[in-house]
Amino acid sequence: MTTTTHVNPSPVPSPVPSPVSGGNRAGGRRALSVLIAVAASAALAAPVATAAPAGKTAPAGKTAPAGKTAPAGKTAPKPPGGASTPITWGPCKGDPPMPDPGPQAECGTVQVPVDWSKPNGPRTGIAIGRQKATDPAKRIGVLMVNPGGPGNSGVESAMYADNPIDGYSAELRQRFDIVGFDPRGIGRSGSAVCDDTIFGKVPTHPRNAAEFEKVRTLNAQAIRSCIQGTGPLAARMDSNSVVRDMDAIRAALGERQISYLGHSYGTSLGERYSKLFPGNLRTMVLDSSVDPNRSSAERYLTDTAVTANTSLKALFSRCPADPACAQPGLPKGKKLTAVVDELFARADAGTLREPGPNGPTRTKVTPDQLTELLNGIAGNGYLDYATERLAALYSGKGEVRFFDSGPVNAAIPLVLCRDHDYRIRDYAEYQAIRERVARAAPYVRYNDQSLSFTLACQGSPLPVEPRPAQAAGALPPVLVVNATYDLATPLAGARRMARAIPTATLHEVNTTGHVLYLMDGVKQLIDNHLINRTR
Protein backbone atom coordinates (compact mmCIF):
# COMPACT_ATOMS: atom_id res chain seq x y z
CA MET A 1 0.00 0.00 0.00
CA THR A 2 1.22 3.49 -0.83
CA THR A 3 0.13 6.74 0.80
CA THR A 4 1.19 10.21 -0.28
CA THR A 5 1.59 13.50 1.53
CA HIS A 6 1.27 16.42 -0.88
CA VAL A 7 3.36 19.41 0.11
CA ASN A 8 5.00 22.18 -1.84
CA PRO A 9 8.00 20.54 -3.58
CA SER A 10 10.56 22.47 -1.60
CA PRO A 11 13.31 21.37 0.76
CA VAL A 12 12.56 19.73 4.06
CA PRO A 13 13.27 22.01 7.02
CA SER A 14 16.31 20.00 8.06
CA PRO A 15 19.11 20.38 5.54
CA VAL A 16 21.14 17.46 4.37
CA PRO A 17 24.93 17.26 4.34
CA SER A 18 27.17 16.49 1.49
CA PRO A 19 29.68 13.67 1.69
CA VAL A 20 32.77 14.58 3.64
CA SER A 21 36.19 13.06 3.57
CA GLY A 22 38.98 13.24 6.05
CA GLY A 23 39.03 12.12 9.66
CA ASN A 24 42.15 11.34 11.61
CA ARG A 25 45.09 11.99 9.35
CA ALA A 26 48.74 11.32 10.00
CA GLY A 27 51.56 10.66 7.59
CA GLY A 28 49.26 10.35 4.58
CA ARG A 29 47.01 7.78 6.27
CA ARG A 30 43.49 8.10 7.63
CA ALA A 31 40.78 6.49 9.70
CA LEU A 32 37.31 6.27 8.19
CA SER A 33 35.37 9.46 8.77
CA VAL A 34 31.66 10.12 8.54
CA LEU A 35 29.93 9.94 5.20
CA ILE A 36 26.21 10.30 4.69
CA ALA A 37 24.85 8.92 1.46
CA VAL A 38 22.97 11.97 0.32
CA ALA A 39 22.87 14.39 -2.57
CA ALA A 40 26.48 15.39 -2.99
CA SER A 41 25.89 19.10 -3.34
CA ALA A 42 23.27 19.74 -0.68
CA ALA A 43 24.89 21.72 2.13
CA LEU A 44 22.73 20.87 5.15
CA ALA A 45 22.77 19.02 8.54
CA ALA A 46 22.16 15.42 9.50
CA PRO A 47 18.87 14.20 10.98
CA VAL A 48 20.62 13.31 14.19
CA ALA A 49 23.79 14.71 15.71
CA THR A 50 26.39 12.49 14.08
CA ALA A 51 28.95 14.68 12.35
CA ALA A 52 31.87 14.39 14.76
CA PRO A 53 35.22 12.93 13.71
CA ALA A 54 35.81 9.19 14.09
CA GLY A 55 36.65 8.00 17.58
CA LYS A 56 40.14 7.07 18.66
CA THR A 57 39.69 3.35 19.13
CA ALA A 58 42.04 0.40 18.95
CA PRO A 59 42.98 -0.78 15.45
CA ALA A 60 40.19 -2.63 13.70
CA GLY A 61 40.20 -6.39 13.99
CA LYS A 62 41.86 -6.38 17.44
CA THR A 63 40.09 -7.70 20.51
CA ALA A 64 38.58 -5.13 22.88
CA PRO A 65 37.58 -5.77 26.52
CA ALA A 66 34.34 -7.73 26.87
CA GLY A 67 31.56 -6.65 29.22
CA LYS A 68 31.09 -8.49 32.51
CA THR A 69 27.60 -7.59 33.67
CA ALA A 70 24.65 -9.99 33.87
CA PRO A 71 22.05 -9.88 31.10
CA ALA A 72 18.99 -7.72 31.69
CA GLY A 73 15.39 -8.24 30.63
CA LYS A 74 13.62 -11.34 29.34
CA THR A 75 15.30 -14.39 27.92
CA ALA A 76 16.33 -13.50 24.39
CA PRO A 77 17.20 -15.62 21.37
CA LYS A 78 20.92 -15.82 20.81
CA PRO A 79 22.55 -14.96 17.50
CA PRO A 80 24.00 -17.93 15.61
CA GLY A 81 27.45 -18.54 17.06
CA GLY A 82 29.96 -16.04 18.38
CA ALA A 83 27.54 -14.25 20.69
CA SER A 84 28.99 -11.60 22.96
CA THR A 85 29.00 -11.51 26.74
CA PRO A 86 26.73 -8.82 28.21
CA ILE A 87 27.69 -5.18 28.12
CA THR A 88 29.55 -3.12 30.69
CA TRP A 89 28.17 0.41 30.50
CA GLY A 90 30.11 3.56 31.26
CA PRO A 91 29.98 7.30 30.53
CA CYS A 92 30.21 8.56 26.95
CA LYS A 93 32.69 11.13 25.69
CA GLY A 94 32.08 13.39 22.73
CA ASP A 95 34.69 13.71 19.99
CA PRO A 96 35.75 17.36 19.62
CA PRO A 97 34.25 19.65 18.54
CA MET A 98 31.16 17.80 19.79
CA PRO A 99 30.51 18.30 23.53
CA ASP A 100 30.18 15.45 25.97
CA PRO A 101 26.59 14.19 26.08
CA GLY A 102 24.53 14.39 29.26
CA PRO A 103 24.81 11.81 32.04
CA GLN A 104 21.77 9.96 30.66
CA ALA A 105 23.94 8.70 27.78
CA GLU A 106 25.97 5.55 28.38
CA CYS A 107 28.39 3.67 26.18
CA GLY A 108 29.78 0.14 25.97
CA THR A 109 31.22 -2.50 23.65
CA VAL A 110 29.94 -5.79 22.27
CA GLN A 111 32.38 -8.46 21.11
CA VAL A 112 31.64 -10.18 17.78
CA PRO A 113 33.58 -12.44 15.39
CA VAL A 114 35.53 -10.67 12.67
CA ASP A 115 34.29 -13.39 10.31
CA TRP A 116 30.82 -14.66 11.19
CA SER A 117 31.49 -17.89 9.30
CA LYS A 118 34.18 -18.56 11.93
CA PRO A 119 32.39 -17.77 15.21
CA ASN A 120 35.29 -18.99 17.34
CA GLY A 121 37.90 -17.01 15.44
CA PRO A 122 39.33 -13.53 16.10
CA ARG A 123 36.93 -10.99 17.55
CA THR A 124 36.39 -7.26 17.29
CA GLY A 125 34.57 -4.73 19.42
CA ILE A 126 31.37 -2.97 18.28
CA ALA A 127 30.87 0.33 20.09
CA ILE A 128 27.33 1.07 21.22
CA GLY A 129 25.57 4.00 22.86
CA ARG A 130 22.29 4.14 24.75
CA GLN A 131 19.82 6.50 26.34
CA LYS A 132 17.28 4.62 28.43
CA ALA A 133 13.54 5.28 28.13
CA THR A 134 12.67 8.37 30.15
CA ASP A 135 9.44 6.77 31.46
CA PRO A 136 10.26 3.20 32.54
CA ALA A 137 6.59 2.49 33.28
CA LYS A 138 5.70 3.13 29.63
CA ARG A 139 8.83 1.53 28.15
CA ILE A 140 8.17 -0.61 25.06
CA GLY A 141 11.70 -1.87 24.55
CA VAL A 142 14.81 -1.04 22.49
CA LEU A 143 14.74 1.16 19.40
CA MET A 144 17.93 0.53 17.47
CA VAL A 145 18.83 3.42 15.16
CA ASN A 146 21.31 3.89 12.35
CA PRO A 147 21.83 7.27 10.63
CA GLY A 148 23.24 5.94 7.37
CA GLY A 149 26.45 6.40 5.50
CA PRO A 150 27.95 3.98 5.03
CA GLY A 151 30.25 5.43 7.64
CA ASN A 152 28.14 7.49 10.02
CA SER A 153 28.19 7.09 13.80
CA GLY A 154 25.17 5.43 15.34
CA VAL A 155 26.78 5.75 18.78
CA GLU A 156 26.44 9.49 18.45
CA SER A 157 22.82 9.12 17.31
CA ALA A 158 22.13 7.58 20.70
CA MET A 159 24.46 9.83 22.69
CA TYR A 160 22.70 12.96 21.40
CA ALA A 161 19.22 11.46 20.97
CA ASP A 162 17.81 14.17 23.27
CA ASN A 163 19.23 17.06 21.23
CA PRO A 164 16.24 19.44 20.90
CA ILE A 165 17.19 20.47 17.35
CA ASP A 166 18.09 17.27 15.54
CA GLY A 167 17.48 14.47 18.01
CA TYR A 168 14.52 12.15 18.43
CA SER A 169 11.18 13.21 19.83
CA ALA A 170 10.42 13.30 23.54
CA GLU A 171 7.61 10.77 23.01
CA LEU A 172 9.94 8.30 21.28
CA ARG A 173 12.55 8.68 24.01
CA GLN A 174 9.89 8.21 26.66
CA ARG A 175 8.87 4.82 25.28
CA PHE A 176 12.15 3.35 24.03
CA ASP A 177 15.76 2.85 25.00
CA ILE A 178 17.48 4.56 22.05
CA VAL A 179 20.44 2.36 21.08
CA GLY A 180 22.94 3.14 18.32
CA PHE A 181 26.18 1.52 17.22
CA ASP A 182 29.17 2.31 15.05
CA PRO A 183 29.29 -0.38 12.34
CA ARG A 184 32.40 -2.55 12.25
CA GLY A 185 35.41 -0.67 10.94
CA ILE A 186 33.71 2.70 11.53
CA GLY A 187 34.47 5.34 14.17
CA ARG A 188 34.64 3.89 17.66
CA SER A 189 34.31 0.34 16.32
CA GLY A 190 37.93 0.29 15.19
CA SER A 191 38.27 2.78 12.35
CA ALA A 192 39.65 1.19 9.21
CA VAL A 193 42.98 2.71 8.23
CA CYS A 194 43.82 3.24 4.56
CA ASP A 195 46.45 5.03 2.51
CA ASP A 196 44.72 8.32 1.71
CA THR A 197 47.28 9.29 -0.91
CA ILE A 198 46.16 6.47 -3.21
CA PHE A 199 42.49 7.48 -3.02
CA GLY A 200 43.56 11.01 -3.93
CA LYS A 201 45.17 9.84 -7.19
CA VAL A 202 42.07 8.09 -8.60
CA PRO A 203 40.74 9.95 -11.69
CA THR A 204 37.31 11.38 -10.92
CA HIS A 205 36.18 11.61 -14.55
CA PRO A 206 38.01 9.08 -16.75
CA ARG A 207 38.09 10.32 -20.36
CA ASN A 208 39.52 7.30 -22.13
CA ALA A 209 40.28 3.61 -21.73
CA ALA A 210 43.68 4.28 -20.16
CA GLU A 211 42.20 6.51 -17.47
CA PHE A 212 39.42 4.01 -16.78
CA GLU A 213 42.03 1.29 -16.25
CA LYS A 214 43.91 3.66 -13.96
CA VAL A 215 40.74 3.97 -11.89
CA ARG A 216 40.59 0.19 -11.56
CA THR A 217 44.28 -0.18 -10.69
CA LEU A 218 44.36 2.57 -8.06
CA ASN A 219 41.09 1.45 -6.47
CA ALA A 220 42.53 -2.03 -6.05
CA GLN A 221 45.72 -0.60 -4.52
CA ALA A 222 43.71 1.63 -2.16
CA ILE A 223 41.55 -1.24 -0.92
CA ARG A 224 44.61 -3.44 -0.39
CA SER A 225 46.11 -0.60 1.66
CA CYS A 226 42.99 -0.71 3.86
CA ILE A 227 43.44 -4.44 4.39
CA GLN A 228 47.14 -3.99 5.12
CA GLY A 229 46.55 -1.08 7.51
CA THR A 230 43.51 -2.52 9.26
CA GLY A 231 43.76 -6.27 9.17
CA PRO A 232 41.14 -8.87 8.22
CA LEU A 233 38.23 -6.68 9.37
CA ALA A 234 38.60 -4.40 6.33
CA ALA A 235 37.48 -7.29 4.12
CA ARG A 236 34.48 -8.02 6.40
CA MET A 237 32.66 -4.68 6.53
CA ASP A 238 29.76 -5.76 4.31
CA SER A 239 26.20 -5.16 5.54
CA ASN A 240 25.45 -8.87 5.97
CA SER A 241 28.17 -8.96 8.65
CA VAL A 242 26.93 -5.72 10.21
CA VAL A 243 23.39 -7.11 10.45
CA ARG A 244 24.71 -10.14 12.36
CA ASP A 245 26.50 -7.69 14.67
CA MET A 246 23.14 -5.96 15.22
CA ASP A 247 21.61 -9.22 16.39
CA ALA A 248 24.57 -9.83 18.71
CA ILE A 249 23.85 -6.41 20.23
CA ARG A 250 20.21 -7.39 20.69
CA ALA A 251 21.23 -10.57 22.47
CA ALA A 252 23.78 -8.76 24.65
CA LEU A 253 21.05 -6.30 25.66
CA GLY A 254 18.91 -9.22 26.77
CA GLU A 255 16.08 -8.28 24.41
CA ARG A 256 13.81 -10.79 22.70
CA GLN A 257 13.01 -8.29 19.92
CA ILE A 258 14.09 -4.83 18.79
CA SER A 259 12.35 -2.05 16.93
CA TYR A 260 14.45 -0.40 14.24
CA LEU A 261 14.67 3.05 12.64
CA GLY A 262 17.12 3.33 9.77
CA HIS A 263 17.89 6.51 7.85
CA SER A 264 19.47 6.53 4.37
CA TYR A 265 22.03 3.70 4.12
CA GLY A 266 20.70 2.48 7.45
CA THR A 267 17.62 1.31 5.53
CA SER A 268 19.78 -1.31 3.82
CA LEU A 269 20.73 -2.70 7.22
CA GLY A 270 17.08 -2.79 8.27
CA GLU A 271 15.96 -4.63 5.14
CA ARG A 272 18.70 -7.24 5.52
CA TYR A 273 17.92 -7.65 9.22
CA SER A 274 14.28 -8.34 8.32
CA LYS A 275 15.50 -11.15 6.05
CA LEU A 276 17.97 -12.78 8.42
CA PHE A 277 16.14 -12.24 11.73
CA PRO A 278 12.43 -11.57 11.06
CA GLY A 279 11.33 -13.06 14.38
CA ASN A 280 13.64 -10.74 16.33
CA LEU A 281 12.07 -7.60 14.85
CA ARG A 282 9.10 -5.94 16.58
CA THR A 283 8.61 -3.28 13.91
CA MET A 284 10.69 -1.12 11.57
CA VAL A 285 10.76 2.25 9.79
CA LEU A 286 12.99 2.87 6.77
CA ASP A 287 13.49 6.60 6.15
CA SER A 288 14.87 7.49 2.68
CA SER A 289 15.43 4.01 1.33
CA VAL A 290 18.33 2.52 -0.53
CA ASP A 291 17.19 0.36 -3.44
CA PRO A 292 17.49 -3.16 -2.00
CA ASN A 293 18.31 -4.71 -5.35
CA ARG A 294 20.34 -2.34 -7.46
CA SER A 295 20.82 -4.78 -10.28
CA SER A 296 23.44 -2.78 -12.15
CA ALA A 297 25.50 0.38 -12.24
CA GLU A 298 23.32 1.63 -15.07
CA ARG A 299 20.09 1.45 -13.10
CA TYR A 300 21.69 3.18 -10.10
CA LEU A 301 23.12 5.94 -12.30
CA THR A 302 19.86 6.32 -14.24
CA ASP A 303 17.56 6.47 -11.21
CA THR A 304 19.64 9.09 -9.42
CA ALA A 305 20.22 11.23 -12.54
CA VAL A 306 16.55 11.14 -13.59
CA THR A 307 15.53 12.16 -10.07
CA ALA A 308 17.87 15.17 -10.20
CA ASN A 309 16.62 16.04 -13.68
CA THR A 310 12.95 15.77 -12.62
CA SER A 311 13.61 17.81 -9.47
CA LEU A 312 15.24 20.55 -11.55
CA LYS A 313 12.32 20.67 -14.01
CA ALA A 314 9.80 20.79 -11.15
CA LEU A 315 11.72 23.68 -9.60
CA PHE A 316 11.88 25.58 -12.89
CA SER A 317 8.16 25.03 -13.51
CA ARG A 318 7.39 27.42 -10.66
CA CYS A 319 8.93 30.30 -12.60
CA PRO A 320 5.83 31.96 -14.10
CA ALA A 321 4.43 32.70 -10.65
CA ASP A 322 7.68 33.43 -8.82
CA PRO A 323 9.46 36.82 -8.93
CA ALA A 324 12.80 35.05 -8.37
CA CYS A 325 12.79 34.26 -12.09
CA ALA A 326 13.06 37.95 -12.97
CA GLN A 327 16.68 37.77 -11.84
CA PRO A 328 18.95 40.34 -13.54
CA GLY A 329 21.32 38.53 -15.85
CA LEU A 330 18.76 36.01 -17.10
CA PRO A 331 17.33 36.54 -20.59
CA LYS A 332 13.71 37.71 -20.42
CA GLY A 333 11.15 35.23 -21.64
CA LYS A 334 13.62 32.36 -21.90
CA LYS A 335 12.80 29.18 -20.02
CA LEU A 336 15.36 28.08 -17.45
CA THR A 337 15.65 24.70 -19.17
CA ALA A 338 16.71 26.56 -22.32
CA VAL A 339 19.23 28.54 -20.25
CA VAL A 340 20.68 25.24 -19.01
CA ASP A 341 20.89 23.92 -22.57
CA GLU A 342 22.84 27.01 -23.62
CA LEU A 343 25.17 26.79 -20.62
CA PHE A 344 25.99 23.17 -21.45
CA ALA A 345 26.62 24.11 -25.09
CA ARG A 346 29.04 26.82 -23.99
CA ALA A 347 30.76 24.51 -21.48
CA ASP A 348 31.15 21.82 -24.16
CA ALA A 349 32.67 24.40 -26.51
CA GLY A 350 35.06 25.68 -23.81
CA THR A 351 33.56 29.18 -23.83
CA LEU A 352 31.77 29.17 -20.47
CA ARG A 353 33.73 31.17 -17.91
CA GLU A 354 33.47 31.60 -14.17
CA PRO A 355 31.68 34.86 -13.39
CA GLY A 356 33.37 37.72 -11.62
CA PRO A 357 32.28 41.01 -10.02
CA ASN A 358 32.87 42.93 -13.25
CA GLY A 359 32.29 40.22 -15.84
CA PRO A 360 33.56 36.82 -16.95
CA THR A 361 36.94 35.69 -15.68
CA ARG A 362 39.48 33.69 -17.69
CA THR A 363 38.74 30.49 -15.77
CA LYS A 364 36.77 27.95 -17.78
CA VAL A 365 33.75 26.14 -16.35
CA THR A 366 33.83 22.50 -17.42
CA PRO A 367 30.71 20.45 -18.22
CA ASP A 368 31.42 18.38 -15.09
CA GLN A 369 31.50 21.49 -12.92
CA LEU A 370 28.21 22.59 -14.45
CA THR A 371 26.69 19.18 -13.72
CA GLU A 372 27.79 19.36 -10.09
CA LEU A 373 26.30 22.85 -9.76
CA LEU A 374 22.99 21.75 -11.29
CA ASN A 375 22.81 18.73 -8.98
CA GLY A 376 23.28 21.12 -6.09
CA ILE A 377 20.48 23.34 -7.36
CA ALA A 378 18.20 20.32 -7.82
CA GLY A 379 18.90 19.09 -4.29
CA ASN A 380 18.60 22.55 -2.73
CA GLY A 381 15.07 23.16 -3.99
CA TYR A 382 15.00 26.97 -3.61
CA LEU A 383 14.21 28.92 -6.77
CA ASP A 384 16.08 32.08 -5.76
CA TYR A 385 19.19 29.96 -5.09
CA ALA A 386 18.85 28.50 -8.59
CA THR A 387 18.23 31.73 -10.47
CA GLU A 388 21.04 33.65 -8.76
CA ARG A 389 23.59 31.07 -9.85
CA LEU A 390 22.22 30.54 -13.33
CA ALA A 391 22.08 34.32 -13.89
CA ALA A 392 25.70 34.73 -12.77
CA LEU A 393 26.89 31.96 -15.08
CA TYR A 394 24.79 33.13 -18.03
CA SER A 395 25.79 36.80 -17.79
CA GLY A 396 29.31 36.28 -16.46
CA LYS A 397 28.72 38.76 -13.66
CA GLY A 398 28.32 37.67 -10.07
CA GLU A 399 29.67 34.80 -7.99
CA VAL A 400 29.37 31.03 -8.28
CA ARG A 401 31.43 28.72 -6.12
CA PHE A 402 32.48 25.31 -7.34
CA PHE A 403 33.45 22.73 -4.76
CA ASP A 404 35.79 19.81 -5.14
CA SER A 405 34.43 17.01 -2.96
CA GLY A 406 37.84 15.35 -2.91
CA PRO A 407 38.59 11.62 -2.96
CA VAL A 408 35.83 9.16 -2.15
CA ASN A 409 35.63 8.01 1.44
CA ALA A 410 36.94 4.48 2.04
CA ALA A 411 33.55 3.43 3.47
CA ILE A 412 32.27 3.31 -0.12
CA PRO A 413 34.54 0.56 -1.51
CA LEU A 414 34.65 -1.31 1.80
CA VAL A 415 30.89 -1.30 2.40
CA LEU A 416 28.72 -0.12 -0.49
CA CYS A 417 30.72 -1.92 -3.16
CA ARG A 418 30.47 -5.15 -1.12
CA ASP A 419 26.67 -4.82 -0.98
CA HIS A 420 25.88 -3.80 -4.58
CA ASP A 421 27.31 -4.93 -7.89
CA TYR A 422 28.29 -1.77 -9.74
CA ARG A 423 31.08 -3.34 -11.78
CA ILE A 424 31.40 -2.16 -15.39
CA ARG A 425 33.14 -4.37 -17.94
CA ASP A 426 35.35 -1.77 -19.67
CA TYR A 427 35.56 1.83 -20.83
CA ALA A 428 33.36 1.20 -23.88
CA GLU A 429 30.54 -0.02 -21.65
CA TYR A 430 31.13 2.88 -19.24
CA GLN A 431 30.92 5.42 -22.07
CA ALA A 432 27.74 3.82 -23.46
CA ILE A 433 26.10 3.92 -20.03
CA ARG A 434 27.06 7.56 -19.58
CA GLU A 435 25.52 8.46 -22.94
CA ARG A 436 22.24 6.68 -22.16
CA VAL A 437 22.03 8.30 -18.74
CA ALA A 438 22.66 11.74 -20.24
CA ARG A 439 19.83 11.23 -22.74
CA ALA A 440 17.50 10.27 -19.90
CA ALA A 441 18.54 13.29 -17.78
CA PRO A 442 19.59 16.06 -20.20
CA TYR A 443 19.46 18.95 -17.70
CA VAL A 444 22.03 17.41 -15.33
CA ARG A 445 23.58 14.64 -17.52
CA TYR A 446 24.40 12.55 -14.45
CA ASN A 447 24.19 12.51 -10.66
CA ASP A 448 27.66 13.42 -9.47
CA GLN A 449 27.50 11.46 -6.22
CA SER A 450 26.27 8.20 -7.71
CA LEU A 451 28.87 8.42 -10.49
CA SER A 452 31.60 8.92 -7.89
CA PHE A 453 30.38 5.93 -5.89
CA THR A 454 30.10 3.75 -9.00
CA LEU A 455 33.63 4.57 -10.10
CA ALA A 456 34.88 3.74 -6.59
CA CYS A 457 33.67 0.16 -7.09
CA GLN A 458 35.68 -0.46 -10.27
CA GLY A 459 38.65 -2.77 -9.78
CA SER A 460 37.75 -3.83 -6.24
CA PRO A 461 39.49 -7.10 -5.30
CA LEU A 462 36.70 -7.83 -2.77
CA PRO A 463 33.68 -9.88 -3.86
CA VAL A 464 30.11 -8.57 -3.85
CA GLU A 465 28.10 -10.22 -1.08
CA PRO A 466 24.68 -11.50 -2.15
CA ARG A 467 21.53 -10.31 -0.44
CA PRO A 468 20.50 -12.83 2.22
CA ALA A 469 17.58 -15.18 1.59
CA GLN A 470 14.40 -14.69 3.59
CA ALA A 471 14.60 -16.69 6.81
CA ALA A 472 11.53 -18.32 8.33
CA GLY A 473 9.46 -16.18 10.67
CA ALA A 474 6.63 -13.67 10.61
CA LEU A 475 7.52 -10.16 9.47
CA PRO A 476 6.09 -7.25 11.49
CA PRO A 477 4.52 -4.13 9.97
CA VAL A 478 7.14 -1.97 8.21
CA LEU A 479 6.87 1.70 7.18
CA VAL A 480 8.93 3.06 4.27
CA VAL A 481 9.11 6.86 3.93
CA ASN A 482 10.66 8.70 0.98
CA ALA A 483 10.66 12.12 -0.68
CA THR A 484 9.53 12.40 -4.30
CA TYR A 485 12.69 14.33 -5.16
CA ASP A 486 15.42 12.53 -3.23
CA LEU A 487 18.65 12.65 -5.23
CA ALA A 488 20.49 10.19 -2.97
CA THR A 489 17.83 7.53 -2.51
CA PRO A 490 15.37 8.01 -5.38
CA LEU A 491 11.70 7.23 -5.02
CA ALA A 492 12.02 4.38 -7.54
CA GLY A 493 14.31 2.56 -5.10
CA ALA A 494 11.96 3.18 -2.17
CA ARG A 495 9.12 1.67 -4.20
CA ARG A 496 11.27 -1.41 -4.82
CA MET A 497 12.07 -1.53 -1.11
CA ALA A 498 8.37 -1.52 -0.23
CA ARG A 499 7.71 -4.29 -2.76
CA ALA A 500 10.59 -6.35 -1.37
CA ILE A 501 9.04 -6.44 2.12
CA PRO A 502 5.58 -8.07 2.07
CA THR A 503 4.38 -6.21 5.19
CA ALA A 504 5.62 -2.76 4.10
CA THR A 505 3.60 0.40 3.53
CA LEU A 506 5.18 3.17 1.47
CA HIS A 507 4.54 6.80 2.38
CA GLU A 508 5.63 9.22 -0.34
CA VAL A 509 6.23 12.87 0.55
CA ASN A 510 6.02 15.30 -2.35
CA THR A 511 9.06 17.33 -1.45
CA THR A 512 12.78 17.77 -2.12
CA GLY A 513 15.06 16.29 0.48
CA HIS A 514 16.79 13.34 2.03
CA VAL A 515 16.11 11.91 5.50
CA LEU A 516 12.65 13.12 6.49
CA TYR A 517 12.38 12.35 10.21
CA LEU A 518 12.71 16.01 11.24
CA MET A 519 9.97 17.13 8.87
CA ASP A 520 6.71 18.15 10.56
CA GLY A 521 4.11 15.49 9.99
CA VAL A 522 6.62 12.85 9.01
CA LYS A 523 8.10 12.73 12.51
CA GLN A 524 4.64 12.15 13.96
CA LEU A 525 3.92 9.47 11.33
CA ILE A 526 7.16 7.62 12.14
CA ASP A 527 6.71 7.95 15.91
CA ASN A 528 3.15 6.66 15.70
CA HIS A 529 4.22 3.63 13.68
CA LEU A 530 7.06 2.75 16.03
CA ILE A 531 4.96 3.14 19.15
CA ASN A 532 1.71 1.61 17.92
CA ARG A 533 2.99 -0.68 15.11
CA THR A 534 0.29 0.69 12.79
CA ARG A 535 0.22 -0.08 9.07
Q: In this predicted model, what pLDDT tens digit does every residue of 497-524 receive, in sequence order? A: 999 999 999 999 999 999 999 999 999 9
> Tell me, what's the pLDDT at 409?
84
* Mean local confidence (pLDDT), 64-72: 32
Average pLDDT over residues 393-407: 88
pLDDT at 405: 72
Mean pLDDT of 128-133: 98
User: For 163-222, what is each residue's pLDDT tens digit?
Assistant: 999 999 999 999 999 999 999 999 999 888 999 899 999 999 999 999 999 999 999 999
* pLDDT at residue number 79: 62
The answer to whether the beta carbons of residues 178 and 143 sit under 8 Å apart is: yes
CATH code of the domain in which 6 resides: 3.40.50.1820
Judged against a pLDDT cut of 70, whether residue 155 lies above it is answered with yes
pLDDT higher than threshold 60 for residue 53 = no
60: pLDDT strictly greater than 80: no
| Span 271-326, pLDDT tens digits | 999 999 999 999 999 999 999 986 799 999 999 999 999 999 999 999 988 998 98
Count the domains in the chain. 2
Instruction: Kindly state whether residues 14 and 127 are assigned to the same domain.
Output: yes
Distance of CA 316 to the CA centre of its chain: 27
**Residue pLDDT, tens place only, 349-372:** 999 999 999 999 999 999 999 999
The average pLDDT across 251-262 equals 97
Share of the chain above pLDDT 90, in %: 77
Looking at the structure, do residues 309 and 166 belong to the same domain, yes or no? no
Whether residue 60 sits in one domain with residue 179 = yes
Query: Do 365 and 513 share a structural domain?
Result: no
Q: Of the spans 23-27, 63-67, 371-375, which averages the highest pLDDT?
A: 371-375
In a domain, 200, yes or no: no
**219 within a domain of the structure (yes/no):** no
Q: Is residue 126 part of a domain?
A: yes
pLDDT at residue 76, as a whole number: 58
Q: How far apart are CA 390 and CA 68, in angstroms?
A: 61
From residue 33, give the alpha-carbon distance in Å to each of 25, 28, 143. 10, 15, 25
- CA dihedral of 224, 228, 231, 234, whole degrees rounded to 10: -30
257 inside domain: yes
Let me know if residue 209 belongs to a domain.
no
* CA-wise closest residue to 45 among 167, 173, 127, 140: 167
If asked whether residues 352 and 494 sit together in one domain, one would say no
Q: Is the pLDDT at 491 greater than 80, yes or no?
A: yes
Residues 6+ apart with CB under 8 A from 310: 485
Pick 503 or 327 by higher pLDDT: 503
Q: What is the DSSP string of 209-275?
A: HHHHHHHHHHHHHHHHHHHHHH-GGGGG-SHHHHHHHHHHHHHHHT-S-EEEEEETTHHHHHHHHHH
Residues 266 and 368 in one domain: no
Question: CB neighbours of 389 closer than 8 A, spacing ≥ 6?
Answer: 373, 377, 400
The answer to whether the beta carbons of residues 366 and 375 sit under 8 Å apart is: no
For residue 472, is it within any domain?
A: no
8 Å CB contact between 422 and 450: no
Residue 98: give the domain boundaries: 2-192+237-288+478-532
Query: Is the domain of 307 the same as that of 454?
Result: yes
Residue 414 domain-assigned (yes or no): no
Per-residue confidence (pLDDT) for residue 205, from 0 to 100: 94
Position 82 confidence tier, pLDDT thresholds 50, 70, 90: low
pLDDT grade, residue 30 (50/70/90)?
very low
Residues 334 and 268 both lie in one domain: no
Q: Tell which wins on pLDDT, 16 or 217.
A: 217
300 and 400 both lie in a single domain: yes
Q: Which is more confident, 64 or 221?
A: 221
- Per cent of the chain over pLDDT 70 is 84
535 or 394, greater pLDDT = 394
| 136-146 pLDDT per residue, tens | 999 999 999 99
CB atoms within 10 A of CB 421: 16
Residue 129 included in any domain: yes
Assess whether pLDDT exceeds 50 at residue 35.
no
Same domain, 316 and 435: yes
Check pLDDT > 60 for residue 129: yes
**278 and 316 assigned to the same domain:** no
Residue 70's pLDDT is 32
Position 16 pLDDT exceeds 50: no
Q: What was the pLDDT predicted at 78?
A: 64
State the average pLDDT over residues 454-478.
Answer: 95
What's the CA gap between 53 and 187, in Å, rounded? Answer: 8
Q: Are residues 437 and 348 in the same domain?
A: yes
Please give the pLDDT value at position 396.
Answer: 96
Cα–Cα distance between 38 and 421 in angstroms, integer? Answer: 19
